[in-house]
Amino acid sequence: MRTVTFMAAVLAALAFAVPHVAVGQANLEINTPAINALQRSMQQRHTQLAPLYASGAVGFTRDGNIALRDAKAVPLAQRQQVNALIAAENQDRAALYREIARANGHPEWESDIRTTFAQRWISRAQSGWYYQNAGGQWVRK
């Protein structure tokens, strides 16, 4: 009889454990004020970055950032402005990866999130845009 009671308790514990597993596999939390603000900031900057991606001046690095690929594609007068754009974008990206990891209670996921984004930015990039392959060489999509 005691065994039956004990097994019922185990079953009850399992009933709690199963949804817990499901939560672990569900969507990541990306709807926080910090993440939304970063998203908006990057969205606004994208109108300035898109022509630079198209001209090949700026490309996507394999570590989830962007970088100046071909300085000659930018008129000398604009180079400083482009460098500032790149720096601001990379700052937002770093904050975005960090915030997603934090919002999900796992700050240690930051580098995994960065790696995931690095792959997704590249595979969603338009054809003609440049990215760094695994060996670090620039490739045109």
Partner 1 sequence: MMAETILRRAVLLAAGAIVAGCVTINIYFPAAAAEKAADRIIDEVWQLKDGASPPAKQPDAAPGETK
At 120, which amino acid appears? R
Residue 121 and residue 56 in contact, taking contact as beta carbons nearer than 8 Å: no
Pick between residue 10 and residue 139 the one whose CB is nearest to partner 1.
Answer: 10
Pick between residue 117 and residue 130 the one whose CB is nearest to partner 1.
Answer: 117
Pick between residue 57 and residue 66 the one whose CB is nearest to partner 1.
Answer: 66
- Least gap, CB of 77 to partner 1 (angstroms): 27
Pick between residue 26 and residue 77 the one whose CB is nearest to partner 1.
Answer: 26
Pick between residue 79 and residue 109 the one whose CB is nearest to partner 1.
Answer: 109
- Least gap, CB of 4 to partner 1 (angstroms): 10
- Least gap, CB of 72 to partner 1 (angstroms): 26
Footprint of partner 1 (CB under 8 A): 2-3, 6-7, 10, 13-14, 17, 20-21, 24-28, 30, 35, 39, 42-43, 46, 96, 100, 106, 109, 112-113, 116-117, 119-121, 124
- Least gap, CB of 75 to partner 1 (angstroms): 25
Residue 135 buriedness (CB in 10 A; 0-12 / 13-18 / 19+): exposed
